[in-house]
Structure 1
Amino acid sequence: MKIHEYLQDKKIICDGAFGTYFSALFDDEILPEQANIQHPELVKKIHSSYLDAGAVLVRTNTFASNKESLQCDEKGLAENIRAAWKHATEAARESKRISGEDCFLAGDIGPIPGSHGISEEETYLEYKLICDTFLEEGAQILIFETFTDMDRILPVIKEIKKEREVFIIVQFCVNQNGYSNAGISAGRLIQDAGKVSEIDALGFNCGVGPGHMFSIIDAVDWPEGKYVTALPNAGYPKLIKNRMIFRDNAEYFTLKMNEISLKGVDFLGGCCGTNPDYIRRMKEMIDIHQREKKLSIQGIEERTQQSVKDNSFWKDKKPGEKLIAVEISPPPGANDEKVMEAVFQLKEGIADVVTFPDSPSGRTRADSVLMSMKAAKETGLCVMPHICCRDKNAIGMRSQLLGAYINGIRNMLVITGDPVPTLIRQEVKSVFNFDSVGLMKMLDELNQEEFAKDPVVFGGALNHNRPNLNVEVGRVKKKMQQGAEFFLTQPIFTQEEAEKLRIVKEETGARILCGIMPLVSYRNALFIKNEMTGINVTEEVLAHFSPDMTREEGENAGIEIAKKVMGYTDDFVDGYYFSIPFNRVSLLNRIF
């Protein structure tokens, strides 16, 4: 029987945890997935125990079957997956022969560790290899579980659905407050997954116990046309003798799973800490014929049609007028006198927004959000802090965004952030829970929920000097999909760079503010050329300066180059982003 047919009038009882149950049975310090090759009888025994307990769907022992976890090559990975499928198949065949009941097998796929540190193409190819191996073995169901978002798995899901008729389940992992480690809420995860036609079933596993799982399930608006899954942990473990131990609470777990079932959930099972006894009790208590009409989901489009305030820094601009952003570097110490002098000089000037970088080049400066707040309070200027992903985890990032919003910040530039300088990496560590796209996703979600009545306007960085410009075009499009409304570029100095920017504009239609850096001296130009990554000061540009120039002559040379660049880009950019060395904002009056 096909799984769709079974689900017409029955719920599916899934198996429970493999990893924690394996560790309880087998006191050997090996990865459970390694047992597919080293201890096949034990793997088969665990599957049989769950089937005997009443599980209708069994997941293969492959959650961590990936090259990083297994420390193997592609051949070794495929061999491990085939062995796992063989053991599950044999256990299911034996169980069906004895009981005569239907049994479904699902190829289990977990997150690839460190996948955000390798290219999207490499990640895609590994997920594709995993899926193809399962499908070659005859799998008709694939379950992607314990994911924090869909970014890295969606391309392969769409691809395999083109090739085969396969039932796809996607399960997310969230905490007690209903947020994944990527900072995305349970509701948003389900919203986004619900719009993907290739996904057949969706829900949650791991992360929380059954009580919190019930609250999360109850709070989410579930999409029509999708099956719903719930596989919580037994509860929360304690660390005993360096091992994570779950207490036996099968009775409570079963009671809560029955309540979850009454919410219209179609797949019910267990994750960490559960064992065959949990599944046996669920099978005995839950009426698998219970059905309840699922709620329709309220899409993002509906939610964003509310009456909202226009916070964009270009709101008062006439069509065709150039937007002007001016960067002021926060002080490296506690004295902000010169910084605030520069800010006050802009008060009656042409700047539409004043931006404050977030410890650029990985070197400590005063907090960009706090500097923005002070500047806005004392001058009334429109401000925009840069928010980078380098220094805070998902908890810290969300906390900062909430704090900034409470204090009136409504424009932000979201960036990944420069790496920490090599010399201090032994003492200072980067965090990078996610990159700028992931942070944009978090901010977009806050706009849909916490900030819905008065959303934040945010943009991103554009690197026109990337070796493969097509990659940058793709990044810009991805950022726009996550809600980025404008892009600030690195400083441009040549017509060749300007033409690259023109291509990005034509390919994406993005609102672009071209980076302009009026160099002020030979020494300044030489420093930027050799010390600042991503900024291309050519020999031709450097030739405009000489060591014996006066201050005025140096500034005039920089202004001349800046005006040329503005001429190269005037017909297609939406504005200019001025980053003026040493905060010499008075130069703006000589440029315009």
Structure 2
Amino acid sequence: MSNGPGSRGFRFDFAERLASGVLVTDGAMGTLLGEHGVGFRHPYDRANLTHAELVERLHGEYVRAGAQLIETNTFSANRVKLSEYKLDERVAEINREGARLARRAADNEANGRERVPVLGAVGPLGRPLSPIGSITEDEAQGVFREQVEALLEGGVDAVLLETFTDLRELRLAFEVTREFGVPVLAYKTFVEDGETLAAGLPVRVAKELSGWGVDVVGSNCTVGPQRMVGIVEQMSDEIGPVAALPNPGLPQLINGEIHYRRDVGHFTEYGVKLAEAGARLIGGCCGTTPEHIKSLADALRDFDASGAAARQAVRNVSVKTRDTGEGPSDIFTEEEARPASEFARRLMDGEFATTVEVDLPRGNDITEVIEASRRLKERGVNAIDISDGARARLRMGPVAVGRIVQDEVGIEVVAHMCCRDRNTIGLQSDLLSASALGVMNILAITGDPPLIGDYPEATGVFDTDAIGLVHILSEMNRGRDLAGNSIGRAPGFLIGAAFNPTADDLPAEVEKVRRKHEAGAHAYWSQPVFEIEDLRRAQEALAAADLAEIKVLLGLMPLRSARQAEFLHHEVPGINIPKRVREGLAKLPPEDAPKFGVEVAQELLVAAKDSVAGAYIMPPASAPDLAGDVVEALGTPVR
């Protein structure tokens, strides 16, 4: 790294500089490049190679406007994001050139003034980490390391980790950057709402980042300057001087393009208030321009930092008694709420639990579902499973149906929830609704592809998969959403996941169970099993993977006909029906086949009862009472 900061003998002391006054940094780069027609269908970072003179000129405009620090045009220049544009092999080149352009502009425009440090900008990966996404922690750190190393080779003085929402991802980026021995600035972006402030999230974030050893803690993007004042107050009251780089306001879409209001006066007014609140490094994010920075620099040129510090000290006394939300719902606690339902209690206490999946009809009439659930309850079933658009077919939502069944019948429901139809916002929204409605047992599934269902042209979302959804549920059981915001009381969901004991690749299936277990699953609903040997083989594989103690609800499917058996065996993935069962059904007259199907399920239930946590029975849609016949094999109804 011959061009890195070590060879220059220069190291900017952020602690000393911010203690003595306010530093003004630059504003948006992407906004300006877009206005020059650069970046359409390409990342703005690519301009470091294709429009180098323009990038350098824009950096220079910010320095002339009064910026005392500038950032490189490399926010999205990591391998993950650049791979979307087939630029992943040019990561090092784009970052090195971004650093050199900013460094040259800073040196050329300083005109004898104090050196203008260059911050190497590093943003999030753009894809979620495992278990929500597929990127492992080691892979993420490799991506960050590649970018940071190239920025340092290009001559940056410090590294800026900005616009992160996921603190785990930010921590990974920080740990990598710290290895290089350069100053590190770390900014979290906050959701634009008052509840974030009321819950004390900025305080807890400030404590966390400061505890890592970050040189400058701050916030950027998302909120406008008015809301940023409240964030800065909380952060600076906790740790002292911080950084604040707000947008000028919320954007709007005009003719397919993002536009921000250009009220420089409003931005400057609140820039001064940010300084009064404890911000000592102030600039702009998306939508800001050299005009914003010039106005801000002029307004803060004679700012009395000592007077502001005195006012802040007075404010610190008043906030010591403020409830910052720490306690059971604190975003950094590892304490998880115990599952709250009676069905969960049965499983957790080792009592045999039975649940039956009752198919939903098309339309909005669920009278038959309610009546079937009532009869099954009378026969000793402990819970009713409600699927979520199984086989990608349109049905009512499981949470709404679950609440109705619970109210009308007085039996608990296990609501399936799939990742096909909801992004991570929608998944969390529906889980919050489930908690509010008292539907506390959730089975997390990935979901069937739309192609096989009623609407093959529909878009499958799949922001995450069942493993990621288990993680989301586990986070909610700690009282927080994926962004770390408090959701209030931890709901105490029972987190269910799927397991296929007859999978063609059993080792791969066991590995999925391990990942679900690590993500926080409490129990596993198995695909239907028809041979005790298949179950025993799967249990041995689980034991070999140190998963012998997981709670498995044995999947049982009382078959009603040879035709059904042939269809399921040959045409439905994940279901394997032994030849002897299929042939046994084929030999019987149609009216006797359901009894044979029940007997097969009963025999398996009796043989497996002492080695599983419960039974998950999936009767034919037209004959839900067959599940009650299967439960009779347990003897006295289990309630």
**Common fold by TM > 0.5:** yes
Q: CA deviation at 1:153?
A: 5.8
Q: TM-score, normalised by structure 1?
A: 0.82
1:277 aligned partner: 291
> Of the candidates 449, 455, 461, which is equivalent to residue 497 of structure 2?
461
> Retained in 1: the 8 A contact 2:442–2:493?
yes
1:145 aligned partner: 162
> Retained in 1: the 8 A contact 2:386–2:414?
yes
Q: Given residue 512 of structure 2, which amino acid in structure 1 is its aligned partner? A: E
> Of the candidates 220, 224, 230, which is equivalent to residue 244 of structure 2?
230
Write out aligned runs for 1:50-65 (5 A): 50-65=62-77
2:51 aligned partner: 39
Instruction: Note if 1:580 corresponds to 2:619.
Output: yes
Write out aligned runs for 1:12-23 (5 A): 12-23=23-34
Comparing 296-305 and 160-169, the one that deviates more: 296-305
Distance 1:310 1:175, change over 3 A: closer
> Retained in 2: the 8 A contact 1:12–1:267?
yes
Instruction: Note if 1:498 corresponds to 2:539.
Output: yes
CA distance in 1, matches of 2:182, 2:610: 52
> Of the candidates 104, 125, 135, which is equivalent to residue 120 of structure 1?
135
CA distance in 2, matches of 1:569, 1:163: 54
1:348 aligned partner: 378
Q: Given residue 207 of structure 1, which amino acid in structure 2 is its aligned partner? A: T
SS at match of 1:62: coil
Write out aligned runs for 1:83-482 (5 A): 83-95=97-109, 98-101=112-115, 103-112=117-126, 119-121=134-136, 125-137=142-154, 139=156, 141-150=158-167, 154-155=171-172, 157-158=174-175, 160=176, 163-177=179-193, 191=204, 195=208, 198=212, 200=214, 202-215=217-230, 228-286=242-300, 287=303, 290-291=308-309, 292=312, 298-299=325-326, 301=328, 303=330, 310-315=340-345, 319-393=349-423, 396-422=426-452, 427-436=457-466, 437=468, 439-440=472-473, 443-444=476-477, 452-453=488-489, 455-463=491-499, 465=503, 468-469=508-509, 471-473=511-513, 475-480=515-520
CA distance in 1, matches of 2:167, 2:336: 27
CA distance in 1, matches of 2:542, 2:111: 66
Q: CA deviation at 1:399?
A: 4.5
Unaligned runs of 5+ in 1: none
Q: CA deviation at 1:343?
A: 0.3
Comparing 90-99 and 537-546, the one that deviates more: 537-546
CA distance in 1, matches of 2:255, 2:492: 47
CA distance in 2, matches of 1:118, 1:528: 31
Q: CA deviation at 1:84?
A: 0.8
Q: CA deviation at 1:9?
A: 1.3
Q: CA deviation at 1:517?
A: 3.5
Q: TM-score, normalised by structure 2?
A: 0.77
**CA deviations over 1:411-438 (Å, ceiling 9, x no partner):** 3334333221247665322234444536
> Retained in 2: the 8 A contact 1:15–1:57?
yes
Q: CA deviation at 1:199?
A: 6.9
Q: Given residue 163 of structure 2, which amino acid in structure 1 is its aligned partner? A: T
SS at match of 2:372: helix
> Retained in 1: the 8 A contact 2:206–2:235?
no
CA distance in 1, matches of 2:411, 2:70: 60
Q: Given residue 213 of structure 1, which amino acid in structure 2 is its aligned partner? A: M
Q: CA deviation at 1:135?
A: 4.5
CA distance in 2, matches of 1:166, 1:410: 48
> Retained in 1: the 8 A contact 2:601–2:630?
no
SS at match of 2:77: coil
SS at match of 1:413: strand
**CA deviations over 1:345-377 (Å, ceiling 9, x no partner):** 222343333221111121112221121122111
Q: Given residue 523 of structure 1, which amino acid in structure 2 is its aligned partner? A: R
CA distance in 2, matches of 1:227, 1:64: 27
Comparing 293-302 and 434-443, the one that deviates more: 293-302
**CA deviations over 1:19-41 (Å, ceiling 9, x no partner):** 10223345784643222011212
Q: Given residue 570 of structure 2, which amino acid in structure 1 is its aligned partner? A: N
**CA deviations over 1:465-495 (Å, ceiling 9, x no partner):** 4763575255324522xxx544434344513
**CA deviations over 1:64-103 (Å, ceiling 9, x no partner):** 3245557234322221111111112222333556212452
Unaligned runs of 5+ in 2: 1-10, 635-639
Instruction: Note if 1:74 corresponds to 2:88.
Output: yes
> Retained in 2: the 8 A contact 1:513–1:576?
yes
Instruction: Note if 1:9 corresponds to 2:19.
Output: yes
What value does the CA root-mean-square deviation take over the aligned residues?
Answer: 4.2
CA distance in 2, matches of 1:72, 1:526: 46
Q: CA deviation at 1:8?
A: 6.0
Aligned length: 581
CA distance in 1, matches of 2:424, 2:164: 15
